[in-house]
């Protein structure tokens, strides 16, 4: 049996049909909010007795995985997997997979939308007109500006290509540089501190782990070019939001655009709510019909592969097989 916890997937949909055609029974369990999900997931997993899970952003903690007797695979719909305790999954012999690249175009387009919104003050103008005004402040063109891409993986490369197509100068930073991409794209590779100092727009495309948590802290924000914008569609924990609020209050940045925050939803008392030059969207960068279809079908296929004894396309923890043999 396969448990589906991804909020946007429905019974009788394409993922349900794919799994059932492969011979698996499906159960859909979708708590109404994240706090409820974290409390109820161990119970849901234990009750379902699932062999595989198609997972969204639910928290699969060590407790939830410990309750999962018989579980063999957690397949994340999305590139990130920081909501899954991978170490615990590996100890229990549970494969963890993800779907890198499936939402690449959607996220890149969202970044472009955020950049244009910042550069032209679109949300502010809409609010002004709605309130009866008709002010016409000067915006700025993206062409000729410098775009700094931090993280040149699948999504970062797509963003870089969009920037180049718009006539932006693109600089980037990644610990693992792809020489062929740099040559083909014309992106200039720089150390992180130089990207921050040179870019008019800094956009983040990194996984969240111990090395990237609060990578953009007070010191990093002070290195940014005066009048620059910070854009984050990756993971909220990469940015120290208190430091960001301090930088905005001090006028160090022209603004910020965030699709992800350290706590989601953004808390009512977040200091970021006080700034008119901060745009926050509700973790929707990858939320298009096309991206969700690609991601969920790829996740479901990887569940089928693992449960059928085949290697999945994007396995996060290859040591799980040895651990599973020991568990047995």
Q: Which of 10, 141, 184, 264 is catalytic?
A: 264
* Residue 4 pLDDT greater than 50, yes or no: yes
Reply yes or no on domain 104-280 having CATH 3.40.1160.10: no
Active-site annotation holds for 91 = no
Distance, CA of 244 to CA of 257 (rounded, Å)? 11
Beta bridge partners of 258: 232, 280
How many other C-beta atoms are found inside a 10 Å radius of the C-beta of residue 138? 6
Distance, CA of 218 to CA of 155 (rounded, Å)? 25
- The pLDDT value recorded for residue 322 is 80
How many other C-beta atoms are found inside a 10 Å radius of the C-beta of residue 102? 25
Q: What is the pLDDT of residues 53-100, one digit of tens each?
A: 999 988 999 999 998 889 999 999 999 999 999 999 999 999 999 999
Distance, CA of 157 to CA of 298 (rounded, Å)? 21
Q: What percent of the chain has pLDDT over 70?
A: 94
Q: What is the pLDDT of residues 94-141, one digit of tens each?
A: 999 999 999 999 999 999 999 999 999 999 999 999 999 999 999 999
Indicate the pLDDT class of residue 43, thresholds 50, 70 and 90: low
Mean pLDDT of the chain: 94
Mean per-residue pLDDT, 301-321: 97
* Residue 185 pLDDT greater than 50, yes or no: yes
Cα 58 versus chain centre, distance: 13
Indicate the pLDDT class of residue 172, thresholds 50, 70 and 90: very high
Higher-pLDDT residue of 49, 254: 254
Where do the domains of the chain lie? 2-100+288-327, 104-280
- Whole-Å CA distances, 134 to 119, 129, 141, 162: 18, 6, 21, 31
Contact 93, 71 (CB under 8 A): no
- The yes-or-no answer to whether 2-100+288-327 and 104-280 have a common fold is yes
| CB burial string 265-290: b at 16+ within 10 A, e below | ebeeebebeebeebbbbebebbbbee
* Residue 242 pLDDT greater than 60, yes or no: yes
- The pLDDT value recorded for residue 32 is 46
Q: Which of 235, 292, 294, 301 is catalytic?
A: 235
Distance, CA of 241 to CA of 75 (rounded, Å)? 30
- The pLDDT value recorded for residue 296 is 98
Q: What is the pLDDT of residues 260-294, one digit of tens each?
A: 999 999 999 999 999 999 999 999 999 999 999 99
- Whole-Å CA distances, 153 to 14, 57, 172: 28, 21, 11
**Which superfamily, per CATH, for 2-100+288-327?**
NAD(P)-binding Rossmann-like Domain (3.40.50.720)
Active-site annotation holds for 294 = no
Q: Which of 76, 110, 225, 283 is catalytic?
A: 283
Mean per-residue pLDDT, 191-205: 99
Beta bridge partners of 4: 28, 54
Q: What is the pLDDT of residues 12-39, one digit of tens each?
A: 999 999 999 999 999 998 654 445 555 5
Active-site annotation holds for 264 = yes
pTM of the predicted protein model = 0.93
Distance, CA of 153 to CA of 104 (rounded, Å)? 10
Cα 153 versus chain centre, distance: 12
């Amino acid at each position: 049996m396969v448990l589906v916890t991804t909020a946007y997937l429905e019974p009788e949909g394409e993922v349900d049909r794919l799994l059932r055609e492969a011979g698996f029974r499906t159960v859909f369990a979708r708590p109404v909010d994240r706090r409820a999900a974290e409390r109820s997931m161990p119970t849901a997993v234990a009750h379902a007795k699932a062999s595989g899970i198609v997972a969204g952003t639910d928290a699969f903690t060590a407790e939830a995985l410990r309750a999962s007797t018989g579980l063999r695979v957690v397949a994340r719909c999305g590139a990130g997997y920081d909501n899954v305790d991978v170490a615990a999954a590996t100890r229990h012999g549970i494969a963890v997979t993800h779907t890198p690249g499936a939402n690449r175009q959607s996220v890149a387009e969202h970044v472009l939308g955020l950049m244009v919104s910042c550069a032209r003050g679109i949300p502010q103008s809409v609010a002004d007109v709605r309130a009866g005004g008709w002010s016409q402040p000067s915006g700025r063109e993206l062409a000729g500006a410098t775009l700094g891409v931090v993280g040149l993986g699948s999504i970062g490369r797509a963003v870089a290509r969009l920037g180049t197509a718009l006539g932006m100068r693109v600089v980037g930073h990644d610990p693992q540089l792809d020489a062929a991409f740099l040559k083909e794209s014309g992106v200039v590779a720089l150390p992180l501190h130089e990207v921050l100092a040179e870019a008019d727009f800094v956009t983040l495309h990194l996984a969240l782990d111990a090395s990237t948590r609060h990578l953009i802290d007070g010191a990093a924000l002070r290195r940014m070019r005066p009048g620059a914008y910070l854009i984050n569609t990756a993971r909220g924990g990469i940015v120290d939001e208190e430091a960001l609020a301090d930088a905005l209050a001090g006028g160090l940045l022209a603004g910020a655009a965030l699709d992800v925050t350290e706590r989601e939803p953004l808390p009512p008392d977040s200091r970021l709510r006080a700034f008119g030059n901060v745009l926050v969207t509700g973790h929707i960068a990858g939320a298009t019909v096309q991206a969700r279809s690609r991601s969920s079908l790829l996740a479901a296929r990887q569940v089928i592969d693992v449960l059928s004894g085949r290697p999945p396309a994007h396995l996060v923890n290859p040591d799980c097989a040895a651990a599973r043999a020991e568990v047995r």
